[in-house]
Structure formats: structure tokens, C-alpha cells
Amino acid sequence: MKALYPTPANAVEVISEVKKSRFIAYATSVVDRESAMAQLELVRAKYPDARHHCWAYVLGNPVSPRSAAMNDDGEPSGTAGRPILKVLQHKAIGDVMIIVSRYFGGVKLGAGGLVRAYSSAAELSVRALKLTQHVPTTSCKVRCGFAHEQLIRHWLEQHQGHVTGADYGEEVLLKVDVPVADFEPLVAFSESVDAIVQQ
């Protein structure tokens, strides 16, 4: 059984200012590196004239993440990405990314000032996030007759399951994601309507 952990339920943007430099922190849910890089491109497109877009993400369970990464994007090494990542690790949130865009205000902050500014921006965005509990799921296939497809779909809706694909031939083959805790009940329900579950 995979452990439960908090993940972002929404995306937030928070603006702070330190000695005329403006920091725009954007926090959102990501599921893999590709989705994280896509979010980074969206932020770069939204704020093309910002001097830096520093970021960090944690993928999977924050206690033992399957991946974590950070980037200073031109700020002195260790003054931006690492402080953002430390906030995420301290808050123990998984499947999350924070991007902090900085508009330079003309006053140098120094290494310590940058660490504090990026940490503070990340902290503000995390505080604004709504969190939800990650529900571990498993993928499987349900083979059923056309007459039973809606019954299966209705059962999945009632149990936080999702149909991710469907193939129609002589029978219906539904690709589904279902919470791990509901896999055995799905098997039992499927058998009751002459459907077959395949891992």
C-alpha cells in the first residue's frame, strides 16, 4: 500500500517585494518532469521580461520522493533553487512545483538576502495553497459487454475511479485507474455483472 501524502489542490500566485525587487511565486501540482517543465514554460511566457525564473519540484511522496530538482536560473549558486526546495521539503508536500520569477529592482540583495527572499516567496505561496490528500491508484482493464458499460462507469464514479481509455470491439475494454483500496471491490462488482478485471 502506497503511503498517503498532501498534494496541491489548486495553483496559486503570490507577489512579494524586497528592496525594490519583485518576486512572483507560483505554486502548482505536477506529476512528472515533463509537466513541471511545461509549467515553467507557461510562467516564462507570462513574465518574459523577468530576469530570473528559479524553481524547485518534488515528485511523489515527499518522505521518499521519486524525484526532486531545482534551478537557480542565473542567480548565484545555491541562493534560489535550494531555498525553494528546502521549503517544499520542510512542508512535506508531494507532486508540487514552485517557480519564483524575479524582477530586479536595482538594489543587490547579496547571497544571504537572496536566500531569505526566495525562501520567503516560496513560503508565502505554500501558505496560500489548498492541499488535498494524494490517493494512491492502480491501473487495470475491465472487459465487459456493451449492456454493462454504464454500470461499470457509474461504479467507478462512485469510488473515485476514472476511465482513461476505451476500446470497442465485440466487447468493451475499459482502461481504468481506481484507488488501491477499491481494487478488490471493483473485482467483486465486475464479477457480479459478468465483467472481467485484468491487471
Give residue-wise pLDDT tens across range 29-42: 998 899 899 999 99
Contact 164, 176 (CB under 8 A): yes
Residue 140: the pLDDT is 86
| Boundaries of every domain in the chain | 6-133, 137-198
Low-confidence ranges of the chain (pLDDT < 50): 1
Residue 45: the pLDDT is 96
User: Is residue 59 within a helix (H) or strand (E), and if so which, with residue range?
Assistant: strand 52-59
Residue 1: the pLDDT is 38
Q: Rounded to an integer, what distance in angstroms lies between the CA atom of residue 6 and that of residue 43?
A: 24
Q: Rounded to an integer, what distance in angstroms lies between the CA atom of residue 139 and that of residue 8?
A: 22
Q: Do 6-133 and 137-198 agree at the fold level?
A: no
CATH code at 6-133: 3.30.230.30
Q: Rounded to an integer, what distance in angstroms lies between the CA atom of residue 176 and that of residue 160?
A: 11
Residue 84: the pLDDT is 96
Q: Look-up: residue for cell 488501491?
A: 180
CATH code at 137-198: 3.30.70.240
